[in-house]
Amino acid sequence: MVTDNVSTEDLKRKFYETGILYFSNPIGINNLLKRFDLIETRLETLNGQLSALNKNLTKASESSGTLAKALNKITIAAVVIAFLGVLIGGGSLAFNIYKYRNPEPVSSTTSLE
């Protein structure tokens, strides 16, 4: 932003002087280097955390696959047991129907006296 009483050349000269002063000042450079070191340290920490997360996700995926296989086996066992239960129930029903349709004859030795 150029004001009426300051020319563009004066602004450029002031900008360059300020930049030279900032970067020639050892405190300014040290602060800048410390900031870069801090950013590098934080990025390394983030990289380590992301690597650990990746390992955890891989373990979770393997564990999930193992759990799915176990649940499939349990489900198959439950289906077989349920089928046997239905088969036994059907056999019992058929036997009771047979007994109802074919009653045993009354023995002649039994007296009703």
pLDDT tens track for 60-85: 999 999 999 999 999 999 999 999 99
Q: Where are the domains of the chain?
A: 8-101
**How many Å apart are CA 26 and CA 33, to the nearest integer?**
10
Q: Is residue 32 scored above 90 in pLDDT?
A: no
Instruction: Choose between 98 and 107: higher pLDDT.
Output: 98
The answer for residues whose C-beta is within 8 angstroms of residue 2's C-beta and 6 or more apart is 8, 11
Q: Which two tokens stand for residue 106?
A: 């009354």
Residue 111: its pLDDT value, please? 55
Residue 110's pLDDT band (boundaries 50, 70, 90)? low
Measured CA to CA, the distance from residue 41 to residue 21 in angstroms comes to 28
